[in-house]
């Protein structure tokens, strides 16, 4: 963790809350709690903060500008540039933990969360069987926790080379190859561009749902500012206006196999957690023919890939950029706080019915920017926890006085 060691004096301070996960959400929450005089202990299963960021592909940069991506109480240093790289995000998180002198316990994996035996606290069972109990708990394991392997017929018996996006680092080892990328989110489109830039012989992009593509920035104006502005507008209004903006920003790629999207932009964000693709080269790559959109993947058949229109391909490599699930079921699935998609029914300062004292952060993919929303959630959680503690102390005093 960048040489940062939790001060010994902090170890003896009573714990108000255990926070599961030392990514941006967990660290931001711990800092916001500390600002309100609460002691949150961050539990992280790996050996450093920002684990998911450490595992991303090499060329990744934030799609949100530095000025809108800093966490509470410590801005991202200017020398990291406006579009912060993966390595600098990790370095920033290390600096953030050190700046706030956060209590982060590494190598501590939480396997299950339960109500305590007394019913007035939360007990965390660790992977080694030991338990920790505190009045409150915050789950911040992240939106991109468990890579989702698509349920495609024949995948398990496919004899060709397949990798998940989480295992992709760069295209240097794939020069000269024929590659099929499956998935048209920000990750899939950026990996397609990366493969082209590293000399892949052919790159095809399998498209199930046509994505909305917007310029990451127009001059100094970042797309995130628009995302913030429209987030609370009526969905139907944004869906009607978005195509006009897209026609201005994005050329018609229909002749290259990628038609205009038929789904509403904000509808897709709210329904599928699918934010628009930020263009970092995919438009030019498709226009030039370097990346070829094809129809969706249907099945694997021996050494062959079969597309939805019956086309049969034999690429040298298939890259599956099919997203993530939150993987919360083993941890809290028994508590009745998840929806049908496995995501928390409440987030930020709200707690689910029957789960007082248990908060969640980082389980949506907001159009207004993930890091910005994590910061907002952190402050809401800290306020809610502080008010809850205050009410509980007053109630205890009344009972004692009686």
Q: pLDDT per residue over 99-147, tens digit each?
A: 999 999 999 999 999 999 888 999 999 999 999 999 999 999 987 766 6
Higher pLDDT, 31 or 327: 31
Q: Which domain holds residue 266?
A: 149-321
Residue 7 has pLDDT above 70, yes or no: no
Does 1 map to a domain? Answer: no
Does 27 map to a domain? Answer: yes
Q: Which two tokens stand for residue 305?
A: 């890939």
Higher pLDDT, 116 or 11: 116
Residue 150 has pLDDT above 90, yes or no: no
Same domain flag for 177 and 223 = yes
pLDDT tens-digit profile of 175-215?
A: 999 999 999 999 999 999 999 999 999 999 999 999 999 98
Which H or E run contains 93? helix 86-99
Task: Report d(CA 166, CA 22) in Å as an integer.
Answer: 19
pLDDT tens-digit profile of 55-69?
A: 899 999 999 999 999
Does 3 map to a domain? Answer: no
Same domain flag for 101 and 206 = no
Same domain flag for 13 and 136 = yes
Same domain flag for 85 and 173 = no
Same domain flag for 270 and 372 = no
How is residue 140 annotated by DSSP?
-
Dihedral, CA of residue 278, residue 279, residue 282 and residue 285, to nearest 10: 180
Does 157 map to a domain? Answer: yes
Q: Which two tokens stand for residue 158?
A: 């496919």
Sign of the dihedral through C-alpha 106, 108, 113, 117: negative
Task: Report d(CA 231, CA 100) in Å as an integer.
Answer: 31
CA nearest 356: which of 158, 103, 107, 136? 136
CA nearest 249: which of 218, 288, 282? 218
Number of domains in the chain: 2
Instruction: For residue 380, give the CATH number of its domain.
Output: 3.50.50.60
CA nearest 332: which of 124, 119, 145, 147? 124
**Mean pLDDT, rounded, for 267-271:** 89
Among 286, 321, 356, which residue terminates a domain?
A: 321
Match 């402050």 to its residue by tokens: 379
- What SS3 state is found at 283? helix
Whole-number CA gyration radius for the chain: 23
**Mean pLDDT, rounded, for 37-64:** 94
Task: Report d(CA 366, CA 224) in Å as an integer.
Answer: 10
**Mean pLDDT, rounded, for 250-254:** 93
Task: Report d(CA 70, CA 75) in Å as an integer.
Answer: 5
Does 211 map to a domain? Answer: yes
Among 298, 321, 344, which residue terminates a domain?
A: 321
Q: Which are the contacts of 118, defined by CB distance < 8 A and separation ≥ 6?
A: none
pLDDT tens-digit profile of 18-27?
A: 999 999 999 9
- pLDDT of 12: 66
- Extract the runs of DSSP E, i.e. beta strands, from 178-316: 178-182, 202-207, 213-215, 217-218, 221-222, 277-279, 291-295, 297-301, 304-307, 312-313
- The mean pLDDT value of the chain amounts to 92
Residue 1 has pLDDT above 70, yes or no: no
**Mean pLDDT, rounded, for 347-368:** 92
**Mean pLDDT, rounded, for 347-359:** 93
Task: Report d(CA 265, CA 197) in Å as an integer.
Answer: 29
Does 2 map to a domain? Answer: no
Least confident residue range of 19-28, 46-55, 123-132, 294-303: 46-55
Residue 3 has pLDDT above 60, yes or no: no
pLDDT above 90 as % of the chain: 77
Same domain flag for 282 and 265 = yes
pLDDT band of 2, cuts 50, 70, 90: very low
**Mean pLDDT, rounded, for 343-348:** 92
- pLDDT of 10: 56
pTM over 0.95: no
Helix axes 86-99, 24-35, angle to 10 degrees: 20
**Mean pLDDT, rounded, for 141-167:** 86
């Amino acid at each position: 963790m960048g040489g940062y060691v939790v001060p010994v004096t902090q170890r003896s301070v009573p714990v108000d809350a255990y926070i599961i996960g030392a990514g941006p959400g967990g660290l931001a929450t711990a800092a916001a709690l500390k600002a309100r005089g609460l002691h949150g202990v961050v539990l992280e299963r790996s050996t450093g903060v920002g684990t998911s960021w450490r595992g991303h592909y090499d060329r990744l940069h934030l799609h949100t500008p530095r000025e809108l991506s800093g966490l509470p109480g410590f801005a991202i240093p200017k020398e990291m540039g406006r579009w912060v790289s993966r390595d600098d995000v990790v370095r920033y998180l290390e600096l953030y933990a050190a700046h706030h002198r956060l209590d982060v316990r590494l190598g501590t994996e939480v396997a299950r969360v339960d109500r305590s035996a007394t019913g007035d606290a939360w007990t965390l069972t660790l992977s080694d069987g030991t338990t920790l109990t505190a009045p409150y708990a915050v789950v911040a394991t992240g939106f991109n926790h468990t890579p989702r392997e698509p349920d495609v017929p024949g995948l398990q018996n496919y004899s060709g080379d397949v990798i998940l996006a989480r295992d992709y680092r760069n295209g240097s080892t794939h020069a000269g190859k024929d590659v099929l990328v499956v998935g048209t989110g920000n990750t899939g489109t950026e990996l397609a561009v990366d493969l082209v830039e590293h000399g892949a012989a052919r790159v095809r992009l399998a498209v199930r749902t046509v994505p909305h593509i917007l310029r990451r920035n127009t001059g100094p104006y970042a797309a995130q500012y628009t995302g913030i502005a429209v987030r609370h507008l009526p969905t139907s209004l944004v869906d009607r206006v978005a195509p006009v903006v897209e026609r201005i920003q994005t050329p018609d790629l229909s002749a290259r196999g990628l038609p205009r999207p038929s789904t509403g932009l904000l509808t897709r964000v709210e329904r599928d957690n699918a934010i628009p693709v930020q263009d970092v080269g995919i438009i030019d790559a498709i226009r030039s023919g370097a990346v070829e959109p094809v129809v969706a993947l249907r099945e694997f058949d021996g050494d062959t890939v079969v597309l939805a229109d019956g086309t049969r391909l034999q690429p040298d490599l298939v890259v599956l950029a099919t997203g993530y699930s939150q993987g919360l079921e083993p941890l809290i699935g028994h508590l009745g706080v998840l929806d049908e998609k496995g995501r928390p029914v409440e987030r930020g300062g709200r707690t689910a019915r029957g789960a007082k004292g248990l908060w969640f952060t980082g389980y949506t993919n907001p159009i207004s920017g993930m890091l910005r929303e994590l910061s907002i959630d952190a402050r809401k959680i800290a306020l809610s926890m502080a008010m809850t503690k205050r009410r509980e102390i007053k109630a205890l005093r009344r009972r004692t006085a009686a």
